[in-house]
Structure 1
């Protein structure tokens, strides 16, 4: 796996983890945090928990599969990404628009409220 693909995978797992962390078992949460957040190797995690590297790998793989399954069912990450894209487009339109300064301020206030959602 190339470095770019590994980074993309890590970013995706971290985003999915942010949305679905509480749906995972405590052990799955711990292993994912060690591996993806803290950048521990399989061997380091195995040593910490006194289990084999293969067992760690299987726990992490199963947790990743669970995150993807939750995303398939609930789509929270996809919805988040869609909202972010719409928000970026709104910002772009707002900055390019030739509207009065009063309306522009109102639009900026609305944009800030939307961002807080």
Structure 2
């Protein structure tokens, strides 16, 4: 389960910070995480060693974690979602205008994902 959580975190980080990466870094990450290619398959496609692919993927992961440490976009995103869930729970089935606004917030939040 931890591996899946880690993978999901990396995918979210990529959604937030992927555009800050170099094109080659984005390409390797996408092949490995989105296209689910093995390191060996990527190495063959890119005509590089498996170790070079591994190093590149790990470098991207580290770089995105550094971006998160500096900018905190993911942690703020998660906090907003938590607060919206708490607000929805507190509202219950009342206050239809408040529910409509909360729905709009959720939709905006989904655009970030």
Same fold? TM cut 0.5: yes
Higher relative contact order by CA 8 Å / sep ≥ 6: 1 or 2? Answer: 2
Which of 64-73 and 107-116 deviates more? 107-116
Is residue 114 from structure 1 mapped to residue 105 from structure 2 by the alignment? yes
Q: CA RMSD in A?
A: 1.2
Aligned to 1:59: 56
Q: What SS is found at the alignment partner of 2:74?
A: helix
**Offset of 1:95 from its aligned partner?**
1.3
Between Structure 1 and Structure 2, how many residues are aligned?
Answer: 108
Residue 9 of structure 1 pairs with residue 1 of structure 2: no
- In structure 1, the partner of 2:111 is none
Distance 2:58 2:88 in 1: 38
Deviation digits for residues 20-64 of structure 1, max 9, x if unmatched? 011001011011111111111000000000100000000001000
The CA deviation string for residues 64-84 of structure 1, in whole angstroms up to 9 with x for no partner, is 010000000000000000000
Runs (5+) with no aligned partner, structure 2 = 109-113
Q: Structure 1, unaligned stretches of length 5 or more?
A: none
What is the TM-score of this pair, normalised by structure 1? 0.87
Matches for 1:1-117 after TM superposition, within 5 Å: 4-95=1-92, 104-117=95-108
Which 4+ stretches in 1 moved above 6 angstroms? none
For residue 39 of structure 1, give the secondary structure of its aligned residue in structure 2. Answer: coil
Shift of 1:113: 2.9
